[in-house]
């Protein structure tokens, strides 16, 4: 990617336009985080509810005090250990951060992405870029530039192509706005990593006995979802469920674990590799013209926590 393309992206951002950019997690749909009108373009393009907050991506040199009103020691330690990287910190909002970015809340979500193209853009822009995933709201997150084009066509004036995303699942979100760390969304940075750095084991939100959690990206019951109806099935039950649906006349796509089964795909029996390939596999199956998708349920241990979180939301119904 040439400097001229980065300059073009910066010019678009400064003009209040949106730009799609790669990160190590998923592709983001970015706009100037300090420009409410530009932020509104993100919501309009995605069809995203206005009360659903965005994550602000920062250059590594940014001062947290410019974006957060209170920066506890644990936040500084986590930023030093994992930024650039797939970790988002929720802190009390600085007054300069528009409420449009935070969904009207008094907290702000911040991270520094670990992708050379994203970092080059952020350094050239020299400010924060609000960037949710570059997909229609609730749909499967994009992990390639082609996925972004599939979602938006020419509605996004510039898509920076940084290749496939290295992590492939959204960042871990840790809330530090209410005292002790609470994991709102699991990701590649796990609870053991957070404990090692802060000295405190983070609580999962459902176990936290604190004030109500701030709203955060990607926490709706149904999210990251294919348009084809999908369900999670235990491996032992998968052949029987597949046979029953086929007997009913349904055309079924399968996302299996470790080995192919039926008409579909398989992902490795390894949490990082599975997470890296998950969204691309779901998109491919979603284009397959199937009546239903069956997803073999991965193990339930901590190593698979982020994958299982995404899969549960992907198969949830709107009821």
What pLDDT shows up at residue 211? 58
Distance set, CA 175 to CA 149, 208, 273 (Å): 32, 11, 27
Q: Which of 170, 178, 175 is nearest to 194 (CA)?
A: 175
Distance between CA 103 and CA 224 in Å, rounded? 20
- Residue 1's pLDDT is what? 59
Question: What is the mean pLDDT of the segment spanning 226-239?
Answer: 95
Which parts of the chain fold into alpha helices (H)?
3-14, 36-46, 73-82, 99-102, 116-125, 145-152, 191-198, 238-247, 271-286, 305-315
pLDDT at residue 262, as a whole number: 67
How large is the average pLDDT for residues 302-312? 96
- Is the confidence at residue 128, as pLDDT, over 90? yes
Q: In the block, which residue shows the tokens 């330690």?
A: 77
Do 52 and 103 touch, CB atoms closer than 8 A?
yes
Q: What's the CA angle centered on 189, arms 185 and 195, to 5 degrees?
A: 100
Its CATH class, for the domain covering 3-207, is alpha beta
Give the CA diameter of the chain. Answer: 61
pLDDT(277) > 90? yes
What's the pLDDT at 318?
66
What tokens were used for 37? 């009108």
Pairing of strands 182-185, 203-204: parallel
Average pLDDT over residues 226-250: 94
pLDDT at 209: 46
What pLDDT, on a 0 to 100 scale, did the predictor assign at position 131?
98
When the pLDDT of each residue in the chain is averaged and rounded to a whole number, the result is: 93
pLDDT band at 319 (very low <50, low <70, confident <90, very high): low
- Percent of the chain at pLDDT exceeding 90: 86
Residue boundaries of the structural domains of the chain: 3-207, 230-315
pLDDT score, position 216: 79
In contact, 55 and 149? CB cutoff 8 Å: no
Beta strands 182-185; 172-175: pairing state: antiparallel
Predicted local confidence at residue 207, as pLDDT: 45
| CA–CA dist 318, 314 (Å, integer) | 11
CATH topology agreement for domains 3-207 and 230-315: no
For the segment 138-165, the average pLDDT, to the nearest whole number, is 96
Torsion of Cα atoms, 32 then 34 then 38 then 39, to 10°: 100
Q: Please, where are the H alpha helices in 15-64?
A: 36-46
pLDDT of residue 157: 96
Q: pLDDT, tens digit, for every residue of 167-214?
A: 999 999 999 998 889 999 999 999 999 999 999 899 875 444 455 667
What CATH topology corresponds to 230-315? Rossmann fold (3.40.50)
- What pTM did the predictor assign? 0.94
Q: Which comes out higher in pLDDT, residue 166 or 214?
A: 166
CA-only gyration radius of the chain, Å? 19
pLDDT of 138 strictly over 50:
yes
């Amino acid at each position: 990617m040439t400097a001229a393309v980065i300059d073009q992206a910066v010019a678009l951002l400064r003009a209040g336009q949106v730009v799609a950019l790669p990160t190590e997690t998923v592709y983001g749909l970015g706009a100037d985080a300090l420009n409410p009108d530009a932020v509104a373009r993100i919501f309009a393009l995605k069809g995203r509810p206005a009360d659903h907050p965005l994550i602000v991506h920062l250059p590594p040199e940014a001062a947290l005090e410019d974006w957060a009103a209170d920066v506890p020691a644990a936040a500084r330690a986590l930023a030093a250990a994992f930024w650039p990287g797939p970790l988002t910190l929720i802190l009390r909002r600085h007054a300069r951060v528009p409420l449009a970015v935070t969904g009207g809340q008094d907290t702000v979500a911040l991270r520094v992405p670990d992708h050379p193209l994203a970092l080059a853009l952020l350094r050239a822009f020299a400010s924060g870029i609000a960037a949710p995933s570059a997909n229609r709201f609730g749909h499967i997150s994009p992990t390639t530039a082609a996925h972004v084009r599939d979602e938006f066509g020419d509605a996004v004036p510039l898509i920076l192509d940084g290749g496939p995303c290295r992590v492939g699942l959204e960042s871990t979100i840790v809330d530090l706005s209410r005292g002790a760390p609470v994991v709102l969304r699991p990701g590649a940075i796990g609870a053991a990593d957070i404990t090692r750095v802060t000295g405190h084991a983070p609580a999962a939100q459902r176990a936290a006995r604190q004030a109500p959690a701030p709203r955060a990206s990607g926490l709706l019951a149904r999210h990251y979802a294919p348009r084809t109806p999908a369900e999670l099935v235990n491996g032992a039950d998968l052949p029987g469920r597949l046979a029953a649906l086929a007997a009913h006349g349904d055309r079924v796509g399968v996302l299996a674990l470790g080995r192919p089964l039926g008409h579909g795909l398989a992902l490795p029996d390894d949490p990082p590799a599975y997470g890296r390939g998950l969204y691309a596999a779901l998109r491919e199956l979603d284009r397959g013209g199937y009546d239903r998708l069956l997803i073999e349920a991965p193990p339930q241990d901590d190593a698979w926590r982020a994958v299982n979180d995404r899969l549960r939301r992907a198969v949830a119904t709107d009821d």
